[in-house]
Structure 1
Amino acid sequence: MSQEVAFDRMTVTIRPGSDVVARMPGVLLVAGTPASDEGDLVLHTVLHLLETGGEGDTRAPGCRLSRELRSLFETGGGPSDLALVAATDDGLAIVLAGTGTAAVPERGWRLVCDEGVLLTREVDWPPAPLLLRLGGSGAESTSAAPDHRPARPFDLRAGVVPGSAAVLASPPTELPAIAIAQGGEPLAGTRVHGYRCRAGHLNDPRALFCALCGIRMAESTGVYVEGPRPPLGLLVFDNGASFALDESYLLGREPDIDERVRSGRLRPLVLFDTGGMISRRHAEIRLEDWDVLLVDCGSANGTLVAERGAEHWSALVPGQPIRMLPGMQVRIGERSFVFEPLHGAL
């Protein structure tokens, strides 16, 4: 079962109001009511984009829609107020503009954007209902849990209706497993020194085999050069979601509060658990040259690690980075993940 199918099976409750609520395959939107013919045209453009899921295959359209909406806003063609959530291969994509707000009131989590800025975030599936609304929509409060009483006649399956907010119900008990993506050409970013194999792939100088094609690496057959660093592996979570290590991450309940996230130096990875044991800024995954480092950010409940095959967990010293080893398990609150390097890495 794909993420889009799981998303589309979840109940969506509409709160009364005059804004626009739309549900299409894999996506849910709350937008402001147009006040002009130009606004009608803008909304029509966005709805058409949702219907097609962006360019290409419509399975789990969240990432594509985020890119398409950003392009639309950069050309001045996007609505002034918008809140959107869509399925991705790893969880959910959230897009906010103007007074758009996304919140998980039962967990005290809330995401807003700065004025004049389009905010896009990829997040894990929250363990409680997700509320989408506009800041000016009535007197709704994100601090109060929404009403989740069964109301089949008000479960929006598809279409466009008036409303002040939309509540996406809790995710399925078991989320579908995520296929691990194969590595391709690295994106332009941090440059590192390493050996290129005979096929031209850049590798860690310590690697015995090419991480992509498996060719044995040696100084006599490799060329020592500088180039864009390829992904260093994957974080594979307990629900099957996987995240490529092509950038440094900040993990937590509200990583967006950190200036390093707001400035683009760290990529936010929002995590939820049912026990409220995850701190707003819990742990950092830091990429340094060819190493993947893990740092506890002074979290309230700590970060635990266990090497492959270990019988016991060890707590990290806050602020003291450790190098992650192949197969290392990490526990943050009630969530856990495993570090899986590329097969040629040490």
Structure 2
Amino acid sequence: MTLLAETSTSPALSHVPGHGVLSRQGELVLLCDAAPERESQIATLLDALSSVAADRGDGRDLGRRLAGLLAAARGDEFPALCAFGPAGDGIAVLLHGAAEATAVGPDGETRLDGRQAVIFVDRTLPGPVTSLRAMVGESSGALAPDRWSRLDSGVVRAQALVYGPDTVGPPAQQESVAPAPAEPSAPSGQPMLEECSMPAPPVAEPTVVEARAGDGGSPIEDLGVLGTYCRNGHFNDPRVRYCTGCGVSMVHLTHALRPGRRPALGVLTLDDGMTFPLEEDYVLGRHPYEDELVAAGRSRPLEIDDSTGLVSGVHTRVILDGWDVKVMDAGSTYGTYLRSDADDQWRRLPPHMAVPISPGTWVGLGGRCLRYDSCRNP
């Protein structure tokens, strides 16, 4: 089942006949996958859309209403969906499950994928947004809207939709934004997530780390580790096959371990594109400056702005242990989640347990996610 949506400055809304559900109430639009066993959940979604529209709410109000339903749900109770509506001069978009959206605005294209979050992706895009395309499910090919059909209000069966000028062609297949296995992001500590099955990413066995001040990671001022030098003098992880500085082979060198200053182990990339070099430990959350390790100068704060309200003040720790990168949930209310390139599901971390992660791993907290990447090649 594939569902597509496209929005533009024109209010015209055409649809591609199919087995999904498409509803429009004013300028609020909901597109969701449909199956007989999800009828009650679909009815709940449609009621939420109608209620927000009756209250003259905008896209942000719709997003908040749907986010509450999704966060309180258990397992995969709700179908994949994409909902959007105006928010000031921009547009607010919420995606859940196998849903993708591409918006064209003043900064070019912005691509979102509901699979980047554990529960949902909720973003307000600055305007003017000239077009927005969305798809729920998998498409078997190009889907052309029926240009002679138009939905001004109500509910219809649809496999896809185009919200914009009649001249707009069918939405193109989109790549997932980010990254990753089946991208990643928004966690939740609701009972739903406690019970869902989340295979662990292919990483080493977890190492228990006490979460107390002074014992949560390497001090920022002390980055010395044991490693090996290539013939050009670059300091490396002793497990790599090629120098990360110049690319020469490390295979035939005598691997005598010598102390040195550890280079950055890679980068953390947030779902909004911001990057942070992994040169020291990080504390992630709404108020990371309140953490004792940050106050002691042993970790760097990374403030996470999240409209879902699911991110704790001190939520997650990223710990550099020798040449390894580890992630630990700091006892957050809604949990920290991991997803690797080899997985299509999220795994919730036990609190206060540091787990090594490999490049390509996604970390989900609240409605946000970030990805760990590295040029190292052990």
TM interval, shorter chain, is 0.3 to 0.5
Larger Rg: 2
Q: TM-score, normalised by structure 2?
A: 0.41
